[in-house]
Amino acid sequence: MKFSRCFLIFILASFLPPLSAENNRLQVPDSSVIRKAVAENWFERPIEVVRHNRTELRSNAIGQVFQVRLEEQRDLFSIIVAPETEIAVDLYTQDGVQHKNVSEYPADAAGAWILMRDSVTGKALKIRYYFAGDSEVYVQFSPSGRKTLADYVIEGCFACRGVPLGVPFDYFYTASFASVLSLTEKALPWNYADIHPEQYHDNLVMVNVIKKNLSRIRQIPDGCYNELGNPVYIGGKEPGKERPVADEDKKSDILSMNHSGFLKWIVDGLIKPLAGSATYVKPLLRPTVSVNVLGLAGIKSQSENLNHSLDWTRNLAAAKLSVQTKKNYLYEDSGVDVKIEPFSAEISDKGITAVAGYVKNSGYEIKYLKPILYVLGVTEPTYFYLAAVRRSVQPNDGSPEFKVFDSSAAIFPYFDKNGQFGCTVFENGEEMTLTQFSKKYPDSFVHLTRVLSSDRFSPL
């Protein structure tokens, strides 16, 4: 599962001079000229000497201001070269409130550079470059003999780890970000930094329309709307059978549905403008997983559908693709499942550990959902995702624990104009953050299917 582009690159020369230009294609503020000026006093001297250095403010060749400072932790100390950023604050005085902009120098802002050294030995450990709007995305370099090892980290997971570079570690003391891009262009997955906020227009249009309609949604245990927009049941012996709706709900234009019906309502809002009607209910219940009838899951499946939300989301996504392409697709031929495996390891409390990738008919561990969606957000900017949640259930009668797909949600990744990553999650008629969604289903698996978004979105 290791990233396929993590390979050894050979450099003919033993040293590459850093590029001096402040400009780079990612428009990241560059501190290379400043680092060259302060290297002797800050980067190689013992911690006892560095402690006496006063914090400095310096400008690069195009007038961008950086702060050079020392920060100490338990086992290491860091030399930070951080760009100036302005934040709006309210200053409360006896005369009232004044609106001011205050300068700050965050260590993890785009353009920040950090040298980490061991507090006891003074040995250089890592150099980190921040370049993205999201502070959990960065590249870092560590010494390894005469070479340097490079990592590309996204939300705590390694998209690339330990790539050998044929330059000495101290090259990065003064290397510009443009130099780093040039040196690692074919070694690190810089395609994950290719972000264009305008590409998320359709996703954001859908998010806004859904938000405006949430007050109309009422949660019920079982229900959706059929191809004609009539209220029907999903479960029971007769799926698709019409169900009663209170007169008050009809007058108030209230829609009653469960989590599955809610996803159908969203996808139908894309299908109806193209096809003139919504999706039928029974095809969405078509099984997509074969179950061993002799196993625990097989026995349980005789009394309840253990894969309901997995089947529902897969069949919904396939139905949307069929309408979109004007070609009938069954789920197994549609390619709607998300199966990417962009990470080889993660940074955890236990150190660096292996990442479990995609598991067939289960999806991803929910703790990896954010980095997976970050990559999807960059590489598939015109899609949103139907998420089926697989949880462990412990019966009250003491029988063995079993797994069941019994919840679902729609997830819309996007990047804002500042390159900041975000996700809007809708579940059962409610909006939540990705963090809230992940906390709601700890230790679960989430299976994703992709659906092309559109600004031609008109839900019932």
Strand partners, 432: 425
Contacts of 365 (CB under 8 A, 6+ apart): 356, 444, 445
CA 273 → CA 93, 207, 249, 383, 451, distances in Å?
56, 17, 25, 18, 15
Q: What is the dihedral of CA 426, 427, 433, 436, to 10 degrees?
A: 180
Q: How many residues does the chain have?
A: 460
- How many other C-beta atoms are found inside a 10 Å radius of the C-beta of residue 333? 11
User: Helices 259-275 and 308-325: crossing angle, nearest 10°?
Assistant: 10
For 457, the token pair is: 């979105």
Over the chain (460 residues), the average pLDDT of each successive run of 10 is 40 38 81 97 95 96 96 95 89 78 93 96 96 96 95 97 96 97 96 96 98 96 96 91 92 95 98 96 94 57 79 98 96 96 87 88 96 98 98 77 92 95 97 97 97 96
Q: Would you give the DSSP letter of residue 387?
A: E
Q: Residue 109 CA to chain centroid, in angstroms?
A: 18
Find where tokens 């993590």 sit: 6
- Dihedral class, residue 428 (left if φ above 0, else alpha if ψ from -120 to 50, else beta): left
What is the SS3 assignment for 189? coil
- Taking the alpha carbons at both ends of the chain, their separation in whole angstroms is 42
Per-residue confidence (pLDDT) for residue 89, from 0 to 100: 78
pLDDT of residue 368: 96
The helix or strand, by DSSP H or E, that contains position 316, with its residue range, turns out to be: helix 308-325
Radius of gyration of the chain (CA): 26
Contact 162, 345 (CB under 8 A): no
Residue 158 phi, psi (nearest 5): -90, 110
Q: Is 97 helix (H, G, I), strand (E, B) or coil?
A: strand
Q: What region does 162 belong to: left with phi over 0, alpha with psi -120 to 50, or beta?
A: left
Task: Please write down the HEC assignment for all residues of 162-178.
Answer: EEEECCCHHHHHCCCHH
What pTM, to 2 d.p., does this model score?
Answer: 0.90
The CB-based long-range contact list for 144-152 (8 Å cut-off, 24+ gap) reads 146/14, 148/172, 150/184, 150/187, 150/188, 152/188, 152/189, 152/192
Q: Given its phi and psi angles, is residue 229 left (phi above 0), alpha (psi -120 to 50 degrees) or beta?
A: left
By C-alpha distance, which of 83, 79, 89 is closest to 109? 83
Alpha-carbon distance 6 to 189, whole Å?
8
Listed as own residue / partner, the contacts of 137-143 with beta carbons closer than 8 Å and 24 or more positions apart are 137/192, 137/193, 137/374, 138/108, 139/180, 139/184, 139/188, 141/165, 141/169, 141/172, 142/169, 143/168, 143/169
pLDDT for res 14: 37
Which of 79, 193, 66 has the alpha carbon at shortest distance from 139?
193
State the pLDDT at residue 22. 57
To the nearest 10°, report the CA torsion of 377, 381, 383, 388: 0
